[in-house]
Structure 1
Amino acid sequence: MLPFTYALRNLFRDPSRLAQTVGGSALVVLLLVAAVSLNQGMDSVLSASGSAKNVILMGKGSEESIERSEVHLAAESSASTSIRGLEEKLGVAAVSGEITYQAPIRTESGKEEQALLRGVLEKALLVHTSVQLLEGHFPGPGEVMVGRLAHRKLGVDESEIAPGKTLHFENESMIVSGVFAAPGTVLESEIWFDRNDLASLTQRDTLSAITLRLDDATLDDVQVFTLQRNDLELAAIQEDAYYSKLGTFYKPIKMMTWVTATLVSAGALFGGLNTLYAAFASRIREMATLQSIGYTRVALLVSLIQESLLATLTGTLLAFLLAYFLLDGRTIPFSIGTFTLALSPLVIFTGLITGVLLGTIGTLPPAIRCLSPSLPKALRSA
């Protein structure tokens, strides 16, 4: 086998080729890392947003979207008294009738963006157990409580929606009463109104949905209630199943991310192959000379792969550094909330495997072509 230092020295024979290889592999790895991180971030926030212990009652025929659902106000008290085995706190059943509405919100600076609004009463904290009040208090009349990532959804600085600031919805001004967290869920991007305020502002006398938290009860018990109360026209779905369906809805977006990353990566890969073909073609005589003094073609192939791996893994390291500063921890808004990009073990593993494959499989075609001519013919080559 050739010494490893031979591959290391050859790496710097052509600085421009080295820069192209390192840059091309860094681009490919960075794009794939970004695609995996984006898809994983969206999947994780949707899967974390739903609880298997929660059941959502929605209007029949509107199971695909809470925003389009309409539920009679009377259904909240009926569900609370008719369904046995619901979780209770201090004698209060964990039943929360809510209004969900998407509309533009304007900040004091005049910036206006779409936001997901949720009209709630304090009972909402009994079913949304991940919600933690960070500062301020629950919203009362004329007030709103914002998720800690709502500023990302609105595209403004965090200070613009701090407690005491004013948000404008329609022609009304609402004071920010507090900030809440709900780690890893879409709730963190929402703006919570007093339910009566939101009902008045949106001119509706129905709820969007009723969320129940189960204790001894099961989904079947809730479905029996919906069948018994045909007059209410309700459908029951587990909360985690609802958000899982939303993940299916966003599947085309995730597919487009993969397609874009694959197309750009393919362009960079073919460009790198052309560079390697040109570089190895000029070294045919060098390889033949090494064969003539006793080195086997397998040894030469391993040396060429070592040389390429050094370049592509350097590009992979560069891609990880860029991903750390440009992607890790960045929050990305989408229609129902935001999700956070993270360099998880799966993302890092994907990047490493990509770098190794670029340095091995991507090197084999030009290397085999370089070593394929017979020894006499290779020695006579220009």
Structure 2
Amino acid sequence: MFNQIGAVTMINLRSLHQRAGLSIATVLSIALVVGVLLGFLAMAAGFRQTLSGTGSEDVAIMLRGGSQAELNSNLSAEQFRILETAPGIATDSDGQPLVSGELYVVVNAIKRGSDTEANMPLRGAGPQAAALRGNFRLLEGRMFEPGTNELVIGEAVQSQYAGFELGESIRLGNNEWVVVGIFSTGGSVFEGEIWADIGVVQNLYQRGSSMQSVRARLTTPDAIEELRDFAENDPRLELDITSEVDFYADQSGGMADIITYIGWPLAITMAIGALAGAWNTMYSSVDTRMREIATLRAIGFSGFAAAVGTMVESLVLAALGGLVGALATYLLFNGVSASTLGSGFTQVVFSFAVTGGSVIAGMVMAVVIGFFGGLVPAIRSAYVPLLTVHRSE
């Protein structure tokens, strides 16, 4: 039986060139389905990795109670001064607390390529902001001077938005700014932000002395509980306090799930079309080899061997389609920078990430298409009438 299956399978595969057009069409249709699925999964994975990889366990983020996002939060200068004296907060070499009050403002910028406006975050930052970001380093230029309309921008901003060249002036809303520095934070979400002096941002956007978040370096990750106890026992502080890692991990979940939920139904819908193509190809394969299959049956080959050989042919074409789709997606999209709307109603810049898990999911879908596309033709090949051997050409 195994010898018969092997012989029929090799005959089928060696005759693929006789059905080159249909076979190539099947491979490409399945490759397209896999490519679309992997594209969405790579987008979701890249978005999740960017946000989940942002932050540190020993940095706490403090927002107004119940606000959930920086854009919805509002903290006073009095609350900031109280937090500077809170227990569990680390100090720098000069003995100053590593605390940064920050303001998060939405501005419009022009996206490269499409020339359309998109929301992006302008962060009003204090002197300790850079020290509270892991892997922060200036790539070009310098930090902004306090009290001036100067910007430093994340490395990813230049790739996604126009007008942010070093030394150039750019208009954001009603205000003119000068780009004086470009920074990197090791691929975290901060690289999609622009920073300016918090006092200037407060003045230009009429925010008084208010801020929206406070970041603090903790003496140890466990010190966050000490900080929470301090805030709970002071009636002037009604805060949600979480570690930076947990904050951005929570932010990443919703959007990544939405991207994934869009990708799977679209890929499944396209898979129905690819299934029809695979079915048509395998039916054509059986039709063109009717006499050949009948001859094999007449000399002792079983119908089961003919069915398995047809099914293997279908699965091979599907696997080739899956590999082509996965390879094309990896070469075209892996590591490509993109942006999408985040939880703060601003664009989050991230890179596509084709993962091993998404490739496996794509290959499974390809094999499923190949199986169901070849199932009925395989059954048909098992019941080819023996008298077909006498059919005239």
TM-score of the two chains, using structure 2 as the length reference: 0.86
293-302 or 256-265, which deviates more: 293-302
1:126 counterpart residue number: 131
2:184 counterpart residue number: 181
2:82 is aligned, of 78, 85, 100, to 78
Q: 1:255 to 1:300 in 2, by over 3 A?
A: same
Unpaired runs of at least 5, structure 1 = none
1:147 counterpart residue number: 154
Is the 1:119–1:194 Cα contact (8 Å) retained in structure 2?
A: yes
Partners in 2 of 1:215 and 1:266 — Cα distance?
57
Other structure's SS at 1:174 match: strand
Partners in 2 of 1:297 and 1:166 — Cα distance?
76
Other structure's SS at 1:82 match: coil
2:218 counterpart residue number: 214
2:335 counterpart residue number: 329
Q: Deviations over 1:192-226 (max 9, x none)?
A: 11111111111102111001222235332122122
Q: Which amino acid aligns with 2:157?
A: A
TM-score of the two chains, using structure 1 as the length reference: 0.88
1:378 Cα shift? 6.0
Q: Does 1:304 align with 2:310?
A: yes
2:360 counterpart residue number: 349
Partners in 2 of 1:335 and 1:363 — Cα distance?
42
Q: Which amino acid aligns with 1:89?
A: D
Partners in 2 of 1:128 and 1:2 — Cα distance?
64
Unpaired runs of at least 5, structure 2 = 1-5, 343-347
Q: Deviations over 1:12-43 (max 9, x none)?
A: 11222112211112112211221221121111
Q: Which amino acid aligns with 1:193?
A: A
2:50 counterpart residue number: 45
1:377 Cα shift? 6.6
Other structure's SS at 1:88 match: coil
Is the 2:55–2:134 Cα contact (8 Å) retained in structure 1?
A: no
Is the 2:26–2:274 Cα contact (8 Å) retained in structure 1?
A: no
50-59 or 198-207, which deviates more: 50-59
Is the 2:274–2:369 Cα contact (8 Å) retained in structure 1?
A: no
Partners in 1 of 2:365 and 2:116 — Cα distance?
42
Partners in 2 of 1:356 and 1:255 — Cα distance?
21
Q: Does 1:276 align with 2:267?
A: no
Q: 1:197 to 1:111 in 2, by over 3 A?
A: farther
Partners in 2 of 1:26 and 1:308 — Cα distance?
14
1:162 Cα shift? 2.3
Q: Cα RMSD over matched residues?
A: 2.5
Other structure's SS at 1:291 match: helix
1:181 Cα shift? 1.1
Q: 1:258 to 1:81 in 2, by over 3 A?
A: same
Equivalent residues in 2 for 1:250-289 (5 A)? 250=255, 251-289=257-295
Runs of 4+ in 1 over 6 A off after TM superposition: none
1:101 counterpart residue number: 105
294-303 or 5-14, which deviates more: 294-303
Partners in 2 of 1:252 and 1:111 — Cα distance?
23
User: Alignment identity in percent?
Assistant: 27
Q: Does 1:238 align with 2:243?
A: yes
Partners in 1 of 2:376 and 2:159 — Cα distance?
47
1:49 Cα shift? 1.6
